[in-house]
Amino acid sequence: MRLLSSLTPLGQHFSFRLRIVISFQSCNFPRLFTMASSEESLRNTLSQKQSAVDAQANAVRALKAAKAAKAEIDAAIEALNGLKIEKASIEKKLQAVVTGVGGDGALNRESFRQAVNNTLERRLFYIPSFKIYRGVAGLYDYGPPGCAVKSNVLAFWRQHFVLEENMLEVDCPCVTPEAVLKASGHVDKFTDLMVKDEKTGTCYRADHLLKDFCNEKLQKDLSISSEKAAEFKHVLAIMDDLSAEQLGAKIKEYGIVAPDTKNPLSDPYPFNLMFQTSIGPSGLLPGYMRPETAQGIFVNFKDLYYYNGNKLPFAAAQIGQAFRNEISPRQGLLRVREFTLAEIEHFVDPEDKSHPKFTDVANLEFLMFPREEQMSGKSARIIPLGEAVAKGTVNNETLGYFIGRVYLFLTRLGIDKNRLRFRQHLANEMAHYAADCWDAEIESSYGWIECVGIADRSAYDLHAHTEKSGVPLVAHEKFAEPREVEKLVIAPVKKELGLAFKGSQKNVVEALEAMKEKEALEMKANLESNGEVEFYVCTLGKNVLIKKSMVAISKEKKKEHQRVFTPSVIEPSFGIGRIIYCLFEHSYYMRPSKGGDEQLNVFRFPPLVAPIKCTVFPLVQNEQYEQVAKVISKSLTLSGISHKIDITGTSIGKRYARTDELGVPFAITVDSTSSVTIRERDSKDQIRVSVEEAASVVKDVTDGLRTWENVWSTFPHHASAAAED
């Protein structure tokens, strides 16, 4: 986040993982810049009302001191109470405005999140890592159902992107030598600003403390003036652009102290977020745990280009672990120290960013939030993707194609399309070299979360590695016919230069040859008009006098057989853990039990991601039914449908509840030896099918070959008994 300033060439590439869109205010983005008029007028009214209350309270006191008549005092008190009620009403309105939705929205979000996380942790979707050793902040395990969801999400990612698009998948190590991450810029720039409790040494992220302070003031202190409120909002908006010094000055100005101890804080200083280690036994080869998987692809560009028959465009992909040594992780599963990334690097000719399959996605429509709409205070709105590309809102077809594919990927997983938007980076969020960048943001109880970054990074990364490694990472376009091009030719006359500069001749020759076209043509003009020219030779640290006889500068026509260029790269980068967490929130709901006496948890996962596709229940504990359950289980295994038999004697209603809470879409209940029922999780509809058909019906619906509606209209319905819920 702190890297998003346009001064930081790496900002855009690093932005993913770093950014969680600040808070709910940012849904109405312009409020970060100009305060919404309702809020401003409410703050002003509140301030006036406060003055009126104070004045009336003084009046009451004065009447009491003057021992005025009781009736008079009572009337004054009544007026004071009236003013207080009016003030409370304004406060309530203001509270509602600053916390977003209807006053207790924040509270609802908190309690919703609590309910989801309780269920997730109780059913072992995830577990705080190393729990028996009191855990480590920012590290989580996926337990059995979470692990199954993750593996389904990754399998679908591979199907949807790698296989369908014929991408070249690679698998590189996490341990990475320093040279690679020096070239990419991570060694120097992948930092967060940190402050320390001056007494205990506890570390905090400087921007977090400032952000918390401003948010706290804005949301809980209704007495601040509208000017002060505007200032805090401004600070929140520009926080990512603040230097260490500016951040430190703000912390001092607001008197912010260590939250746990109230001790004073150190000045902010940068802390590199990579886990450092040492490769081999000598201690001489520093290494890091990779902060992203992309670099492994960039350094292999040459081989991959060759593998692709030296043809562009092509895409390479990688799924793997990445690491960030967060200063103080918060926000649970959303900001962790180790996470799975899935990244695509699509290499393309910078002169042709069209995409042959763009028409496949051009008709998709979804929430987009272009830069201009953010700046002018509008909201995200539904835009057809074809229109966004045609109008130039989205920079090019390839970028647009990936936006469309990401939309399809996320919604097929079960992300609610009404809580998914594509937000374009603002100018100050984007690196100077980036052509365009859009984030797929998903709304969760934490706000809008950046889950996929889709960026046109131009040639930046390949350039950087070409420069540092000395290996040209370039592509070639062979011309059908040789093409004539004009080339600048600088020909130093060594004999003349040798006579004039003796031992320094070599430096002068090199400096002449290194001139850029503009400089050379200026020299040519000067030599032609004046016969000589002053010329600065940096390796000598001084000017020398170049005469017309010493160098010949000309433009010549040459034939070229090919064009050599550095490809542009379009990078969709997926934070798998974040997507999964948002999916958990979007899939979760509660519904009353049949008796209405308790609330039951359900995850409405589509079969594609459900951790288990089907449970098999013998209705009562009996040898025959268990035998049938085993037969069905065997068919399900043969069909590759993950499932579980539950032969506990628990009531069928309880078993359904248990399976709903894991998001299992189908339950087969064995209540006879010839036919069984299949229940769909969300509708609770039940059909009756023969034992032989059961597995194939579940398989067909799971694989998307049939819909439940289709099955429902084909098979006889089963009315559940009271006990079966």
Beta carbon nearer to its own copies, 238 or 647: 647
Please state the closest distance from residue 493 (CB atom) to its own copies, in A: 39
Find the largest Cα–Cα distance for the chain.
115
DSSP 8-state code for residue 195: E
Please state the closest distance from residue 337 (CB atom) to its own copies, in A: 6
Please state the closest distance from residue 307 (CB atom) to its own copies, in A: 5
Please state the closest distance from residue 202 (CB atom) to its own copies, in A: 8
Please state the closest distance from residue 324 (CB atom) to its own copies, in A: 10
SS (H, E, C) 249-299: HHHHHCCCCCCCCCCCECCCEEEECCCEEECCCCCCCEEEECCCCHHHHHC
CB 268 within 8 A of CB 194: yes
Beta carbon nearer to its own copies, 271 or 715: 271
Return d(Cα 96, Cα 588) in angstroms, integer. 26
Give the CA angle between residues 187, 192, 196 to the nearest 5°: 120
Residues 6+ apart with CB under 8 A from 353: 395, 396, 397, 398, 399, 456, 568, 570
Please state the closest distance from residue 457 (CB atom) to its own copies, in A: 19
Amino acid at 389: V
Beta carbon nearer to its own copies, 152 or 677: 152
Please state the closest distance from residue 580 (CB atom) to its own copies, in A: 11
CA 667 from chain center: how many Å? Answer: 35
Please state the closest distance from residue 255 (CB atom) to its own copies, in A: 24
Please state the closest distance from residue 327 (CB atom) to its own copies, in A: 5
Assigned token pair, 20 = 């969680």
Residue whose structure tokens are 């203001």: 94
CB 691 within 8 A of CB 675: yes
Beta carbon nearer to its own copies, 195 or 236: 195
Assigned token pair, 536 = 């600065």
Return d(Cα 521, Cα 527) in angstroms, integer. 10
Half-sphere exposure of 282 (CA within 13 A, CB side): 4
Beta carbon nearer to its own copies, 40 or 178: 178
Beta carbon nearer to its own copies, 191 or 445: 191
Beta carbon nearer to its own copies, 321 or 714: 321
Return d(Cα 547, Cα 63) in angstroms, integer. 99
Beta carbon nearer to its own copies, 52 or 408: 408
Task: Give the closest residue to 323 by CA, choosing from 591, 56, 638, 577.
Answer: 577
Please state the closest distance from residue 2 (CB atom) to its own copies, in A: 15
Beta carbon nearer to its own copies, 40 or 169: 169
| 3 state DSSP class of 443 | strand
Please state the closest distance from residue 1 (CB atom) to its own copies, in A: 17
Verify cis geometry, omega within 30 degrees of 0, for the bond prior to 313: yes
What residues does 487 pair with on adjacent strands? Answer: 556
Beta carbon nearer to its own copies, 183 or 701: 183
Please state the closest distance from residue 194 (CB atom) to its own copies, in A: 6
Please state the closest distance from residue 483 (CB atom) to its own copies, in A: 24
CB 674 within 8 A of CB 668: no
Residue whose structure tokens are 């690093």: 14
CB 46 within 8 A of CB 471: no
Beta carbon nearer to its own copies, 1 or 90: 1
DSSP symbols for 645-667 = E----S-HHHHHHHHHTTT--EE
Beta carbon nearer to its own copies, 168 or 497: 168
Return d(Cα 698, Cα 379) in angstroms, integer. 42
Quickly count: other Cβ atoms within 10 Å of residue 456's Cβ.
Answer: 26
Beta carbon nearer to its own copies, 296 or 653: 296
Residues 6+ apart with CB under 8 A from 593: 599, 600, 653, 657, 725
